Amino acid sequence: VNDERFLYARLPYRRHSGHYLEDHPPERFGCTVCHGGKPGASDFASAGHPRPASSAREHAWASAYGWSPPGPEGMYPLQVLAGRCALCHSGADGLRAAQPYRQARKRIAHLRCAACHELRDEPRAPVQIAVHLDHLGSKLNPSWLARFLEDPPATHASAAMPAFPLSEDELQALVDTASSLTDDRIPRDPEETAVDPAAAARGLEIVRERRCQTCHDIPGVADEGFLKQDKVGPSLEGAGEKLNASWIRAWLADPQAVRAGVGMPRFRFAPGEIDAITAFLLSLRDDDPPAEERAGASPGGDAPARANRAWDEHRCGACHLLEAFGSGGFDRIDLSSAGSAAALRWSDAGFQETGIEGSEGVFHTRPGSPRTLHPGEPAQPIFTFLAGEDSAPVDAVPPAPPPRKGFDPDDAAGGLVAELRCLSCHTIRGSGGDIGPELTWAGSKLQRDWLITFLQDPVAIRPMNRARMPKLGISAEEAERLADWIGRELRAPEVDDSAPDFDSTFSFVGSSKVKSPYGCIACHRIGDEGGRVGPELTHVGSRLQKKWIFHWIKSPKHWIPGVRMPDFGMPTEDLLAISLFLSESR
């Protein structure tokens, strides 16, 4: 199976394709690691092809190759094989081949499957991970909530909640009860359908200027970038039907006061701005006529009792916390060895991209169990993940070291970092998000003056990134405080301690080398020529420190693994000349 000469040999003598066997010689690792006790294939029919998308193709396969839908004993299709990497490589971190698995795992975490299923590495979801229900009545309009509960995946693009088979009675009871859960600080407004268009238009402008689209999908705000990134905030589609006006105002003023621990920063809005944004959000309505008005906030009769029964019946407590109802304990369904079990019925599952129908075989095995996938969402990632849920046969690779100690500054600047939620997007010393650039060594990298200006009025640096730093409205005094703190705390010793000999060269040497031979201008704009893949370099000396430029060009991937800038392997004299030239481009 690993002899080069058999690469295109007649079946069944053909060599395995890909690089798997180079890193995992079969004489050392055997076959079971990937195959998990499932057989190999000796011809087309027994290979683990996913079910073809069309019945015509299926028919063609059947007549040409004698193919039939694989049964539970069939081999793993290549498409889900990435999951097997997770058996030995804990979390499959850093493995390019296991990329599909990591994506699948992200999806699994988002859908909070672990709340109801026993999974090998996925910790049980914290109970109050979903929306705080205690003040739900202040936030949501009852008519929207009713529509949402009927079918969450179909109603809201970023919903993690599955669709439960609720009866009409249960639905009404839950909506009524939820509507009665209000926050005293937030008055309940009547649902407004008429919004002042001028105010909404002004709100849209502010939303654009503040770059809310970095975290939210917003109808009417184009967001064109090269990269497709998952948004950290929920989609704002249909926000006008969903949200209560007073709640929006309170949230915008200080998100953490409404819900502690949320990732959204506290923007410094002027008072009029909040009203305008609220008007804009209220104007976001679906074109469909709204569902019939339900009587909101009238907890009469036995509604709470009926709601409590529905709560227990559907195990809402697995994800939601509500003091009145509690979170009843129950056994989770064990999927931790699903990868080796026949329960993974590739054929029934119709492991193709047919979404809900295709997934019924697995996801609707019990009466009353919910449907999780969104309409049209492929089930393949789920299977990729499940293929890795197997008892590990070898502990070949030790798990990745735990992330470095969390970052938690405690001085005045630290308070600012917490309030502005910098770590929602930026990583510092191993903790934080990956939307913005890592800041661990920002103090050795950035010029202080530039940083102060940028924090107050951020501009786009990297054309490739879709995410733009939002305009938080940081004051000059706050910006200086942050810049000082960054310059003091966030250092890279290897940059600080080095002493490149810039005196040995001249910047004019570098000014020609950025064109030929190194072709920097293919990706970077300098003056009026050059590409727009990397940051513009025309005034880069004002932004970056001289020594940082030297170390960055020397080996970009040392600082950011996988960065698109190549390691040129430049001789030191060229490095010096180019970084000197760039540092003098101000």
List the one residue from 59, 404, 557, 586 that touches another protein (CB under 8 A): 557
Q: Determine the length of the chain.
A: 586
- Interface positions, 358-397, toward another protein (CB under 8 A): none
**Which helix (H) or strand (E) segment is 565 a member of?**
none
List the one residue from 433, 518, 536, 546 that touches another protein (CB under 8 A): 518
* 64/522 with CB nearer another protein: 522
Shortest CB 3 distance to another protein, Å? 11
List the one residue from 94, 564, 572, 586 that touches another protein (CB under 8 A): 564
For tokens 């937030």, the residue is 186
Shortest CB 97 distance to another protein, Å? 7
Q: What does R_g of the chain's alpha carbons equal in angstroms?
A: 28
Shortest CB 105 distance to another protein, Å? 17
- Please tell me whether residue 294 binds another protein under the rule CB under 8 A: no
CA distance 87 to 29: 13
Collapse the DSSP code of 418 into the 3-class scheme (helix H, G, I; strand E, B; otherwise coil) and give the result: helix
- Please tell me whether residue 4 binds another protein under the rule CB under 8 A: yes
Span from 96-104, 145-153, 173-181, 394-402 in contact with another protein (CB under 8 A): 96-104
- Please tell me whether residue 106 binds another protein under the rule CB under 8 A: no
Tell me the site size for another protein, rule CB under 8 A: 37
List the one residue from 353, 449, 457, 567 that touches another protein (CB under 8 A): 567
Verify cis geometry, omega within 30 degrees of 0, for the bond prior to 12. Answer: yes
Collapse the DSSP code of 117 into the 3-class scheme (helix H, G, I; strand E, B; otherwise coil) and give the result: strand
List the one residue from 7, 11, 270, 560 that touches another protein (CB under 8 A): 7
* 63/516 with CB nearer another protein: 516
Type of residue numbered 417: V
CA distance 37 to 340: 7
Shortest CB 78 distance to another protein, Å? 9
Type of residue numbered 35: H
Task: State the binding string over 19-38 for another protein (x if CB under 8 A, else -).
Answer: x--x----------------
List the one residue from 201, 460, 476, 522 that touches another protein (CB under 8 A): 522
- Please tell me whether residue 94 binds another protein under the rule CB under 8 A: no
Cα–Cα distances (Å) from 428 to 14, 407, 437, 440, in that order, read: 48, 7, 10, 4
- Please tell me whether residue 64 binds another protein under the rule CB under 8 A: no
- Please tell me whether residue 527 binds another protein under the rule CB under 8 A: no
CA distance 268 to 119: 42
CA distance 485 to 148: 45
Collapse the DSSP code of 73 into the 3-class scheme (helix H, G, I; strand E, B; otherwise coil) and give the result: coil
Bridge partners (DSSP) listed for residue 529: 526
- Please tell me whether residue 17 binds another protein under the rule CB under 8 A: yes
At 446, give phi and psi (nearest 5°): -100, 150
Span from 288-296, 332-340, 407-415, 563-571 in contact with another protein (CB under 8 A): 563-571
At 526, give phi and psi (nearest 5°): -130, 115
- Please tell me whether residue 464 binds another protein under the rule CB under 8 A: yes
- Please tell me whether residue 416 binds another protein under the rule CB under 8 A: no
CB atoms near residue 37 (< 10 Å): 11
CB atoms near residue 394 (< 10 Å): 11
CA distance 451 to 480: 8
Residues that bind another protein (CB under 8 A): 4, 7-8, 17-19, 22, 96-97, 99, 226, 464, 513, 515-519, 521-523, 525, 529-533, 555, 557, 562, 564, 566-569, 571, 574
